[in-house]
Amino acid sequence: MTAHLKLLGLGVLLLLLHALGTSILPALARPDFVLIFVLTLGLRIGGGTGALALAFLMGFCVDVLSGSPLGLYALLRGTACVLTRLVDRALYLRASLPWAIYVMAYAFVDAVLMSLTLRVLVPEGMIPWGTVLLHVPLAGFITAILAVPLLSVTQRLEAEVQGEGAWTSLSSRARV
Amino acid sequence: MSDLLRRLSYPLTYLTLVGLCVIGMTTHRGPVELGLAHRILLSITLPLERIVTFPVREARRLWRDYTGLVDVREHNEVLRQRVTDLELENLQYKEAIVSSERFQRLASFRAKREIPMVPANVVAQDLSPWFQAVIIDQGSSAGIGPGMPVITDSGVVGVVAGTTPGASKVLLVIDPQSRVDVYVQRTRARGTLRGRTDLDCEFLNVLREDDVREGDLVLTSGLAAMYPKGLVVGRVSRVERKPYGLFQRAEVEPAVDFSKLEEVFVILERRELPADDAFFSESAELWPEARE
């Protein structure tokens, strides 16, 4: 329980860091701490529905504190968690370099998914591809760099979570 | 059976949450009163965000105050001279107003038309790099409601997109979802202003033959039932006129510096499009013969 609370606390802390980043850094160089968090949720502890719900909740928090259409970030962050879980089964992502490359690549995928979702569901809020491609590279790179130390933090938490009894689906995954 | 359910719980949870998000996105369009979950989350996260961003805001303010002290003596001299000039000018205007009955009527009319406004401070910025919204520290308890325009002394800021009792979310004019009906002050050329995320706007639907030039002042037309007429939005920074097509395209640099936005005013007046029958009832009063 303590480890789960620590995980939740880490999520809140990263959300606040994200908010702090918006006050200090320009949009082109702003790391997405919430994205890193939900990717790590998908990577390790992310087997369970609890982690999935937490990823959606983090996305919803971003929706609440931004001008995005309600549910956009919840959808994107939940999907990030699920896709990472799927990719994690095929590729080894738990070392620093593969993890950083994956986070960088996912930053691109996330921007493309966001743009496509807007085109389909909220066409009036559509963002031009040029703007998307201009914003992603530097911000994605910084996000990838910062994702590496956060991976080790969450790996420690994972060990604690597993010691206390993991979330439901994680236990089923362990059997598989 | 229970093993099957356990296996299905993950995809089912995902699909359910995705469904909820899609419903949220397709139904919550435009300015709305925020839902309960939204309010609760905003009430929890906003104070935390305020605490985190407070040192940054204060550091910025201190730096601005410090840099503002440079050359302050010379500025003071210039300003004193200007104040004296303006006081003299003001006296002349006052005299003219008092002596003219017509001006007096105009003055009283203006007083009646004065728009009620609420000042508010920007307490949080948009967490997403793709959208442009801010959160202000005044909400529905101060009389603010969704759809109310937000301005500063420089020009139009945006529109209230949602409210809680103590805070409101303001969608800025530079947000890609924002649309403002505007016209060019010099030539009255009309068009639609659309946000572009990059702290500027696109001026769309301007007829090709309309005269639009760099530096032209762009004002709200008051026709889209959101903003009052005549508020400054920005200046045309670039014009793109192709040799074909019905419309030309321009870029507008907003009058407000959104990167330094701190204090705003919310106009406590929600403008709504008149109902269809309202137009007919008014026109019937003006031209009764047209009704027949």
Tokens of B181: 């009906």
Q: What pLDDT is stored for residue A100 in this prediction?
A: 92
How far apart, in Å, are the Cα atoms of A74 and each of A114, A163, B23, B42, B47? Answer: 11, 29, 12, 15, 21
Q: What is the spatial distance between Cα A68 and Cα B126, in angstroms, rounded to a whole number?
A: 9
CB under 8 Å, gap of 24 or more: what pairs does B210-214 form?
A: B210/B184, B210/B248, B211/B184, B211/B186, B211/B187, B212/B184, B212/B187, B212/B236, B212/B239, B212/B248, B212/B250, B213/B186, B213/B239, B214/B238, B214/B239
**Count of domains in chain B?**
2
B92 assigned to some structural domain: yes
Q: What is the spatial distance between Cα B222 and Cα B183, in angstroms, rounded to a whole number?
A: 10
A173 assigned to some structural domain: no
Nearest CA-CA partner of A147 in A61, A66, A43, A57:
A43
Are residues B108 and B188 part of one domain?
A: no
The domain in which residue A138 lies consists of 2-164
Total number of residues shown for chain B: 292
Do residue B7 and residue A20 have CB atoms under 8 angstroms apart? no
A34 assigned to some structural domain: yes
From the list A20, A52, A74, which residue is nearest B21 (CB)?
Answer: A74
Do residue A122 and residue B129 have CB atoms under 8 angstroms apart? no
Residue with tokens 């301007």: B206
Overall pTM surpassing 0.95 (yes/no): no
Angle (CA) A53 A54 A58, round 5°: 120
Q: What is the spatial distance between Cα B180 and Cα B161, in angstroms, rounded to a whole number?
A: 14
B5 assigned to some structural domain: no
Q: What pLDDT is stored for residue B92 in this prediction?
A: 76
> Is the minimum CB–CB distance between B175 and chain A shorter than 8 Å?
yes
| A 30-59: CB under 8 A from B | 30, 34, 47-49, 52-53, 56
**Count of domains in chain A?**
1
Q: What pLDDT is stored for residue A78 in this prediction?
A: 92
Tokens of A106: 């996912």
The domain in which residue B103 lies consists of 71-113
A172 assigned to some structural domain: no
- Of all residues in chain B, the one with the smallest CA distance to A12 is B45
Q: Are B146 and B31 in contact (CB under 8 A)?
A: yes
Q: Are B185 and B120 in contact (CB under 8 A)?
A: no
B199 assigned to some structural domain: yes
State which of B52, B81, B113 marks the end of a domain: B113
Q: What pLDDT is stored for residue B102 in this prediction?
A: 52
Are residues B91 and B157 part of one domain?
A: no
Amino acid residing at B52? V
Q: Which 3 state secondary structure label does DSSP give B99? A: helix
Q: What pLDDT is stored for residue B104 in this prediction?
A: 59
Q: Are B163 and B118 in contact (CB under 8 A)?
A: no
> Is the minimum CB–CB distance between B172 and chain A shorter than 8 Å?
yes
A15 assigned to some structural domain: yes
Are residues B229 and B182 part of one domain?
A: yes
From the list A68, A74, A168, which residue is nearest B128 (CB)?
Answer: A68
Interface test with B, best of A16, A18, A61, A65 (most B CBs within 10 A): A65
Q: Is the ipTM of this complex over 0.85?
A: no
Of the two residues A112 and A94, the one the predictor is more confident about is: A112
Task: Please give the mean pLDDT across all residues of chain A.
Answer: 81
Over range A125-151, report the average pLDDT: 85
- Judged against a pLDDT cut of 90, whether residue A80 lies above it is answered with yes
Percent of chain A's residues with pLDDT above 90: 16
User: Which chain B residues have a beta carbon less than 8 Å from that of A12?
Assistant: 48
Are residues B93 and B152 part of one domain?
A: no
Q: Half-sphere exposure of residue B280, counting CA atoms within 13 Å on the CB side? A: 5
Are residues B164 and B143 part of one domain?
A: yes
Q: Which 3 state secondary structure label does DSSP give B162? A: strand
Are residues B215 and B92 part of one domain?
A: no
Q: Inter-axis angle of helices A96-121 and A72-90, to 10 degrees?
A: 140
Are residues B255 and B121 part of one domain?
A: yes
Are residues B205 and B108 part of one domain?
A: no
CATH number at residue B148: 2.40.10.340
Tokens of A168: 């439901």
pLDDT tens readout for residues A32-63: 899 999 998 887 654 578 888 889 988 988 88
Are residues B234 and B180 part of one domain?
A: yes
Nearest CA-CA partner of A66 in B17, B247, B42, B244:
B42
User: Which chain A residues have a beta carbon less than 8 Å from that of B24?
Assistant: 69-71, 74
Per-residue pLDDT of chain B (292 residues; tens, 9 = 90+): 677 777 788 888 889 888 888 888 887 666 666 777 777 777 777 777 777 777 777 787 788 777 777 777 788 888 888 888 888 888 777 767 666 665 555 455 445 546 788 888 888 888 888 888 888 988 888 889 888 999 888 889 999 988 888 888 899 988 888 888 998 888 888 899 988 877 788 888 888 888 888 888 899 888 876 788 888 889 998 888 888 888 888 899 998 888 878 888 898 876 654 444 444 444 444 444 444 4
From the list A65, A135, A168, which residue is nearest B45 (CB)?
Answer: A65
A169 assigned to some structural domain: no
Q: What pLDDT is stored for residue B279 in this prediction?
A: 43
**φ, ψ for residue B256 (rounded to 5)?**
-90, 135
A175 assigned to some structural domain: no
A174 assigned to some structural domain: no
Q: How far is B57 from chain A (nearest CA, A)?
A: 8
A68 assigned to some structural domain: yes
